[in-house]
Structure 1
Amino acid sequence: MKANLRQRWRNSTRLLAAGFLLMAGQLAFSQTPEKTELRYQGWASKVLYPELAEDLGYLAPIRLKWVGNTTSGPQDIQAAVTGDVDYGGAFNGSIVKLAAAHAPIKAVLSYVGADKDTNGGLFVLQGSPIKTARDLVGHKVGVNTPGAYEQYLVTAWLEKSGVSKDDIQKITFVAAPPVNLAQLLKQKQLDAIFLEDIIKDKLLAEGGATLLTTDYQLLGSFGYASYIFTDRFIQQNPNTVRRFVEGTARAIEWAQKTPRAEVVARLEKIVQARNRNEDKTIVRYWKSAGVGGKGGVLSSSDFSTYVDWYVSNGVLKPGQVKADDIYTNQFNPFSQALGSRQSGS
């Protein structure tokens, strides 16, 4: 009888183990990315966090397919909407405007921001008569995209400095690729330029320009750009989106915790290997992760700031779009640790 009991116990143990293996296999299968290649646009002379995540092995088995560079966040997210790429990234205000136009999109991760070490700034040439916000009236300011983040920041500085809306209208914002703005300033084709993060720091190191203000001085530490997917892409490829967000969030955390010299060496290696005919020295000016929150977790304020700004300027109508409907943290593993809302809606 004892032998029968032992045999039945062994059989039940084997069945239980087999059941666990089957459940584990089903779980792994259910989390397998539906799409293992993601098309995207890069930025000249920059390593984006998904690119870093891929190099670190955090996206596997997903591979990124570079289809070219963009100089405009609005163009990048519009390309995601039209299906020319699988995801795009832009200034949160641009995402707000696209959502207000009823584009079926959802922001899933913050990837650009300002902190005390990494921030964007407004420059003039050394010796320029432009020394205050009011001095900008009637002049040309170079930005990467009119109506996007850099214009928002300059406008916020002007408003905070007491410049009237009528006078702000007298300032001309001129679009140019970020890597070309410094040259246009030196050639005096522009009176002032706004540069972000490492491109700003490269100009500072080269000299010849005066920094008037930075986004960190004006607003503190915050995130201001996010990656988006279309609702359709998320519905059809939820595991792919989850792997992308998890991997990119881990890359952000890696950059936040890893010694600067090691991060810079990694970025240089990536730029050297991709052979895109770009300035390979700019990544040496990398100082910090420059993302507002841990692991790129989003918050309602990341979007409500710009909703309010557009409403106050008559670009949007009150209630036209709600900040909480624009983003989700459901794919970000760091959101649970921070007690973040899974989504705005």
Structure 2
Amino acid sequence: MVTPSTRRTFVKNLALLGAVGAAGSWLAGCDKEEPAKNAGAPGVIKQAGDKPVAFKYPDNPAFDLVYLADSLGYFEGTQARPQYIGKIAAPQIIPLVGTGEIDFGTRMVPLVISAIASGLDLKVIAAGGKTLQEAPHMKYFVRADSGITQPKDWEGKTVGFNSFGACAEFVSKKYLRAQGVNVDKINWVVVPDNQAEQTLVTGNVDIAIIHPPASGGAEHNPALRKLWSDYDLDGGLGGMAPYSGHGRFIRDNPQATSDFVAAIAKAGNWVNANPDDARKVIAERLGMKLDLVERYAYVEDLIITEPPIQYYIDILQNEGKLQPGKVQVKDVYTNQYNPFAKGAV
């Protein structure tokens, strides 16, 4: 049985190997310049004195920077400490952040916008994941013997996706409408990512939209065929998966919030520099076969930019889910707790 302490040792060893390799290449090339912060596992910022603040966080089977930062030791010497409170269903994460039942959580931008519009107290504080062609945020699958090949074929079909109100629904509907598809003729049903592959294989849905790491199994399943990824639909604009914080917690604990953002930003940079090592960590954490764990990519330093947020504000307004002018971009996010942002708002 793998214990938390052995897992943490395993991850730290991976980080150390990455850092040693990066340091070797740096020493060979320069004398006085600092190495690039993305070259390997960043060092831990040490702070002394004040008592650490425990933040409530879900312990979900996911590729998550909080788990990586914790295993890499990036919370050590800071005022932030994770307090895992068990598994939380994906659709509940943002509502629970908004009410303070949990202090931080990661889910897609439209859920945060809708929560803010409904009066909940939360804010995006770190950019989180991004979509690359080689590392998409989500993938679309059908059965290999399916005749579904183009958007119009979706009409009359059942689509399984992880929740309403997030990227899988809105990125898909925006694209399908642009292709002349009547999305009201599609049956949309919620299927958790870790059940989507089997649900599709057994014919309970015709199309499955699956996020990593669960999409790796579908990618390698000969009974299934990939249609496309979200990168193919919008070039990655809708793929930012940010971290949000409860308003009262971040106002009451600004240093702990800054330490939280710094720790996960370092973890994100480490993943970008060491994608295969990161896959090993997640495979070990989730008990998955390594070749089924897909690569993740993160916004550098987790600095938030406005276009991905405006993208979803526009979609929500066009879908009739958000009154025009109800929520502005500046209402949704802040970079003030990110020590790497250097004056960004």
Normalising by the smaller structure, the TM-score range is 0.7 to 0.9
Could you say which residue in structure 2 is the equivalent of 1:84?
Answer: 101
The partner residue of 1:48 within 64, 67, 77 is 64
Residue of structure 1 in register with 2:344 after alignment: 342
**Aligned CA distance change for structure 1 residues 266 and 200 (closer, same or farther; 3 Å):** closer
Report the CA distance between 1:283 and its aligned residue.
Answer: 5.6
What residue ranges of structure 1 are gaps of 5+ in the alignment? 1-26, 272-278
Contact persistence 1:252–1:289 (CA under 8 A): no
Alignment of 1:1-345 (within 5 A): 32=50, 35=53, 37-44=54-61, 46-61=62-77, 62-72=80-90, 74-119=91-136, 120-163=138-181, 167-222=182-237, 223-258=239-274, 260-269=275-284, 271=285, 280-281=287-288, 284-291=291-298, 293-336=299-342, 342-343=344-345
- Report the alpha carbon displacement of residue 250 of structure 1 after superposing the two structures with TM: 0.3
Say if 2:100 and 2:249, in contact at 8 Å, map to a contact too: no
Distance 1:297 1:192 in 2: 34
Take 2:265 and 2:290, find their aligned partners in 1: how far apart are those partners? 20
Letter in 2 for 1:42: D
Alpha-carbon separation, structure 1, partners of 2:279 and 2:226: 24
Please tell me the residue identity of whatever aligns with 1:228: S
TM-superposed CA distance for 1:315, in Å, is 1.3
**Segment drifting more, 216-225 vs 51-60:** 216-225
Residues 290 and 28 (structure 1), Cα distance of their counterparts in 2 relative to 1, 3 Å cut: closer
Q: CA deviation at 1:201?
A: 2.4
Q: Which has the larger radius of gyration?
A: 1
| Separation (CA, whole Å) in 2 of partners of 1:282 and 1:174 | 28
Q: How far apart, CA to CA, are the structure 1 residues paired with 2:290 and 2:161?
A: 20
The 1:261–1:213 alpha-carbon spacing in structure 2 relative to 1, beyond 3 Å, is closer
Change (3 A) 1:110 1:320: same
SS in 2 for 1:329: coil
CA contact (8 A) 2:141 2:218 kept: no
Map Cα deviations across residues 275-321 of structure 1 (whole Å, 9 max, x no partner).
xxxx5115644443322x21221111121111111111221111010
Provide the TM-score with structure 2 as the length reference.
0.80
Contact 1:76 1:90 in 2 (8 A): yes
- Count of matched residue positions in the alignment of Structure 1 and Structure 2: 296
Q: In the alignment, what sits opposite 2:21?
A: none
Identity of aligned residues (%): 24
Distance in 2 between the 1:219 and 1:64 partners?
A: 34
Name 1:276's counterpart in structure 2.
none
Give the counterpart letter for 2:287 in structure 1. Answer: K
Distance 1:188-1:151 versus aligned 2 partners, 3 A rule? same
Supply the distance in 2 between the matched residues of 1:208 and 1:335 (Cα, whole angstroms): 45
- 1:261, distance to aligned residue in structure 2 (A): 3.3
Q: CA deviation digits over 1:239-267, x for unaligned, max 9?
A: 11011000000000011112x33223333
Against the structure 1 CA distance between its residues 43 and 156, is the aligned structure 2 distance closer, same or farther, given a 3 Å change threshold? farther
- Tell whether the 8 Å contact from 1:133 to 1:161 is kept in structure 2 after alignment: yes
Residues 335 and 283 of structure 1: CA distance in aligned 2, closer, same or farther (over 3 Å): farther
- Rate the CA distance shift 1:263–1:240 in 2: closer, same or farther, 3 A: same
Q: Offset of 1:228 from its aligned partner? A: 1.1
Looking at structure 1, the residues matched to 47 and 72 of structure 2 have their Cα atoms a distance apart, in angstroms, of: 21
The question of whether the paired residues in 2 share the 8 Å contact of 1:298 and 1:327 is answered with yes
CA contact (8 A) 1:139 1:191 kept: yes
Distance 1:326 1:117, change over 3 A: same
